[in-house]
Structure 1
Amino acid sequence: MVREKQSVVIAGGGSTYTAGIVMMLINNQDRFPLRKLKLYDNDKSRQDIVAKACEVIIQERAPEIEFAATTDPEEAFSDVDFVMAHIRVGGLKMREKDEKIPLKHGVVGQETCGPGGIAYGMRSIKGVIELVDYMEKYSPNAWMLNYSNPAAIVAEATRRMRPESKIINICDMPVAIKKSIADILGLKDENEIVDRYYGLNHFGWWTEMRDKEGNDLMPILRDHVRKYGYTAVVDENNPLLEEASWKDTFLKVRDVQGVDQATMPNTYLKYYLYPDYVVAHSNPDYTRANEVMDHREKIVFAECRRIAANQTAVDTSIEAGEHAEFIVQLAGALAYNTYERMLLIVKNEGAIANISEDAMVEVPCIVSKRGYEPLCMGKIPHFQKGMIEQQVAVEKLVVDAYQQQSYEKLWQAISLSKTVPSATVAKQILDELIEANKEYWPTLV
């Protein structure tokens, strides 16, 4: 079957992940052929570093694809079929503040969880809504595949503020976890696993994992996880987990899974179930943001500069990221009606029977040209129901605060977060976050 070629804009062209996404798109021209690929970012200097390398990569590997990089919304969003969005409003410098301000008060400092995630969400809403509006103005038939964090808050905001828009909110973390699980179980890749999963973004549980023959994989996985978490080998120097924070997160699953041994958890649940452990093992002066700036960002940008200087990417160390593969699979299902089964963040509407209809939940969906159809996960146990409803309320209060410019609503959101010990501490953190985010948040009254 000859597949119609697509036009794609990557919003967040200056991201350290963009070159990997471009590489994945090029590597999958048989599955998702492109006629045009554009990068868009409001930070020209940062995007230029990535764009110059991507131009070389495309010229060498797929010269038939028309390539451009721009900071002009009309140029970027005109004549596109898909918008792939992964923006970071405020950049890594603001992420650093998201992480360090809560830690000063003995609270989890993390980019998507707790007060840091709330702060990031308040910045992201405006940026993502702006992208949706550009898409609808210049390419009204396009789909937006949004993986900008914090995806849960962004999903709630787009549900309310742009309810008719063709936007699908996604996250690659379950895919990354399933890759590790496939390694643990000796499977070819994560696509060999047929699963059932429910929750919110960065806040969910697997209730079932089977292979393609229908064999139950959970008993073997439980035995491994009790000893080694989601690390695929016993050696704690596993090269797959080079960065200390990720290695600790994958190992801590040993304890997270112990809270409900019938399920397998998303790694991010450690921040909600063991916040005291996280704070005790965090360096308030050197957080994940510093780790990324000192490691990934320097390596990726140095390689992009090298490619541009040498005008060749033949021996490049840039690889297609696992989240990029997920995006290609999703875009292909929408474009070519392949009926893929994928985890998406969607309006509940009965997918989890005993959770609010308008909660933005993460569940398996069937994806085709029609869009997505959530699969029913049924009723969930009291433990997960209680945790999910609390976190849904946090996310809704954040969007309330943004729309109403309400100090009180945001104070309530931070107070309600399971990572925060009291309303007193919540207020102290909020006041510091307001000062740090004056350039990005609406004025709260």
Structure 2
Amino acid sequence: MKKSSVVIAGGGSTFTPGIVMMLLEHLKRFPIRQIKFYDNDAVRQEKIAEACAILLRERAPEIDFSYTTDPKEAFSDIDFVMAHIRVGKYAMREQDEKIPMRYGVFGQETCGPGGIAYGMRSIGPIIEIIDFMERYSPNAWMLNYSNPAAIVAEATRRIRPNSKIINICDMPVGIEERMAEILKLPNGRKDMEVRYYGLNHFGWWTDIRDKQGNDLMPKIKEHVAKHGYIVNPEKHVETEVSWNDTFAKARDVYAIDPDTLPNTYLKYYFFPDYVFAHDSQHPEHTRANEVMEHREKNVFTAARAVVDKNTAKDCDFHSDEHASYIVDLAEAITFNKKTRMLLIVKNEGSIVNFDPTAMVEIPCVVGANGYEKTCVGKIPQFQKGLMEQQVSVEKLVVEAWISGSYQKLWQAISLSKTVPSVTIAKKILDDLIEANKDYWPILK
């Protein structure tokens, strides 16, 4: 059976140990001969990599492991780039969240002005990674799950349209696992066949069936109408308060269109006043601070403990099982599995009454040659209108980055459903420019 070589771009991420654990748990279906880490922050990466080296030595000594900041070393002799970079790290995420709040607009990692700021930082480095891959391993695939996925996907479509990159997101996967819990399905979400359409973090399920073709939507809808996507709270005690609020708020998002089931992130577009009211109660302590105080601290503490003890036995690294969709994707390509998955791809008529150049999130069948898109057909006016507004935001952001246009980025922020006026958009933009001067292209 073929064994693959993988480079994880973003080797210093707090998510990297969980991804390594997940890869180890699925070696029987996706065998690996080599894992490399690549990051432009050598010090941060080394802290994670030293611990992962011990973990791999103990649990899979047959896998070659290395880590580097040198692109040639990282991207040579690889089959897959698994990319999950965070440009500016959590310090810049904190700015993304807090700057809009000065002007009565919520700050969020991928939605609204915060997501736009993050997108402007991410485009250049993602293109750079694609170029490294194509230079040193031209037959490799890039599996990108770096946020904000919608803006990154549009940028790759515009700037590197022929590259072997597949953009994918874990949010629908996480929601589908909760749906499977509602239904008590023995094999989780893999017992479901779904129809879904939208943009990344901006979509709807229209049909969910079991393998025998039985309609599962009514039972899920009954639960969501009462509880949102909150299910088995005693099992999910580790879920943070902010995420529990998001899962619960799906009840109100669902009420707007009970013919479908919504992606949770629609809460930010439908209820920006509600989100800001919650955020503004603690303007100096946002989600970024929460992550830095908990996840960031815990992962690096666990890594240091592994290195100090020189063993990963009983370590506090946990498999990032919700990210097993990355293994599903790599396995499907490697072994031509023809696996049905939600991907972010160029529309090109899959949604017949929507912009053919839009990067939409729809079911695709994945095999050795990449993916084949399914036909969604026509979508309702409500969703179409919402998606046209949001995809225009994403396209304007990418156009602003390519052309260095202040005007285009001002238009993008103004057009976001999360921003109340053009005047507020300009104030937010000017502050974001100052905060991001080390990361964004110069805008004129």
TM-score, normalization by structure 1: 0.98
Give, as a single letter, the amino acid of the residue that structure 1 aligns with 2:308. A
Give secondary structure in 1 for the equivalent of 2:11.
coil
Report Cα offsets for 1:277-327 as digits up to 9, x if no partner: 000011221111111101111111111111111122221232221343010
Deviation at 1:241?
5.1
Tell me the equivalent position of 2:257.
Answer: 260
Tell me the equivalent position of 1:428.
Answer: 427
What are the within-5 Å matches in structure 2 for residues 60-209 of structure 1?
Answer: 60-188=58-186, 189-209=188-208
CA contact (8 A) 1:241 1:247 kept: no
What are the within-5 Å matches in structure 2 for residues 21-420 of structure 1?
Answer: 21-188=19-186, 189-233=188-232, 235=233, 239-240=236-237, 242-282=239-279, 283-420=282-419
CA contact (8 A) 1:107 1:279 kept: yes
Give, as a single letter, the amino acid of the residue that structure 2 aligns with 1:176. G
TM-score, normalization by structure 2: 0.98
Q: In 2, distance between residues paired with 1:143 and 1:323? A: 21
Give secondary structure in 2 for the equivalent of 1:389.
helix
Give, as a single letter, the amino acid of the residue that structure 2 aligns with 1:295. H
Q: In 2, distance between residues paired with 1:221 and 1:240? A: 22
CA contact (8 A) 1:175 1:322 kept: no
Aligned residues: 441
Q: Which residues of structure 2 form unaligned runs of 5+?
A: none
Deviation at 1:350?
1.0
Q: Which deviates more, 217-226 or 111-120?
A: 217-226
CA contact (8 A) 1:36 1:65 kept: yes
Give secondary structure in 2 for the equivalent of 1:149.
coil
Give secondary structure in 2 for the equivalent of 1:341.
strand
Report Cα offsets for 1:229-248 as digits up to 9, x if no partner: 10113x5x663553111010
Give, as a single letter, the amino acid of the residue that structure 2 aligns with 1:254. R
Give, as a single letter, the amino acid of the residue that structure 1 aligns with 2:27. Q
Q: Which residues of structure 1 form unaligned runs of 5+?
A: none
Q: In 2, distance between residues paired with 1:211 and 1:272? A: 31
Give, as a single letter, the amino acid of the residue that structure 2 aligns with 1:69. Y
Q: In 2, distance between residues paired with 1:172 and 1:241? A: 18
Give, as a single letter, the amino acid of the residue that structure 2 aligns with 1:404. S
CA contact (8 A) 1:231 1:238 kept: no
Give, as a single letter, the amino acid of the residue that structure 1 aligns with 2:256. V
Give, as a single letter, the amino acid of the residue that structure 2 aligns with 1:202. H
CA contact (8 A) 1:184 1:231 kept: no
Give secondary structure in 2 for the equivalent of 1:140.
coil
Give secondary structure in 1 for the equivalent of 2:341.
strand
Q: In 1, distance between residues paired with 2:63 and 2:323? A: 18
Give secondary structure in 2 for the equivalent of 1:60.
helix
Q: Which runs of 4+ in 1 moved over 6 A?
A: none
Alignment RMSD (CA, Å):
1.0
Q: In 2, distance between residues paired with 1:25 and 1:272? A: 35
Give, as a single letter, the amino acid of the residue that structure 1 aligns with 2:94. E
> Identity across aligned pairs (percent)?
64
Give, as a single letter, the amino acid of the residue that structure 2 aligns with 1:66. D
